[in-house]
Chains A and B, each alone.
Chain A
Amino acid sequence: DAGVTQSPTHLIKTRGQQVTLRCSPKSGHDTVSWYQQALGQGPQFIFQYYEEEERQRGNFPDRFSGHQFPNYSSELNVNALLLGDSALYLCASSRRSTEAFFGHGTRLTVV
């Protein structure tokens, strides 16, 4: 049984570009959440998707957007990248409000 899978593992982008990160939830899970973890800090909640709708959102600008597909997989899009967007982006899945399981993350570097 595959856990939460994220792609790509690493990514380097230039300031101003756009990026799309992908997440496949653990089998049987229907809720996907995204977190941003800057170096040396705890993860910060970006948003959460359930039934293809954004259900909760953290304190992140509109440059951060997402999508959930009918198969429960999800994408995180970030537009107009800033140097400060460099971080580890973690995807977590759960079945409604059960405990969340995390993927290995995508390491995004903005240069």
Chain B
Amino acid sequence: AQKVTQAQTEISVVEKEDVTLDCVYETRDTTYYLFWYKQPPSGELVFLIRRNSFDEQNEISGRYSWNFQKSTSSFNFTITASQVVDSAVYFCALSEVEEYGNKLVFGAGTILRVKS
């Protein structure tokens, strides 16, 4: 069975600090996808990134970066120079590679509070 663990329930930082959100996953599949979503108070899940299990290259997008390590089954997310607008709940998710669409298995989420 697939499982995603986000051990950090809540993180508080001061603006401009860097913050890393941890994600550890379990799967028996050799091919899978990993995702990060952001959920602001409005409730909508905002897609941030999808990573294929074959691609272990780290990725950077502006202030966001992701570190994928298959050896430790981790897919961590770092926000550099955090801003108040980054305050939200962040979810890591995992899915098999399916023909029709991704069936996402989510972690419990990490609440990020960025204070000014």
Contact = CB atoms under 8 A, between A and B. Distances in A.
Interface in B35-63: 35, 37, 42-47, 50
B44 A48 contact: no
Given A42-B108, A99-B35, A94 B44 contact: no
A41 B9 CA distance: 10
A interface bracket (residues with beta carbon within 8 Å of B)? 20 to 34
Contacts of B101: 31, 33, 48, 50, 55-56, 94, 96-97, 100
By secondary structure, the B interface counts as loop
B97 A97 contact: yes
Interface residues of B, number: 25
Interface of A: 31, 33, 35, 40-45, 48, 50, 55-56, 58, 88, 90, 92, 94, 96-97, 99-105, 107
Q: Which 8 pairs, one residue from A and one from B, show the smallest C-beta to C-beta distance?
A: A42-B106, A102-B45, A31-B101, A50-B100, A55-B100, A104-B44, A105-B43, A99-B50
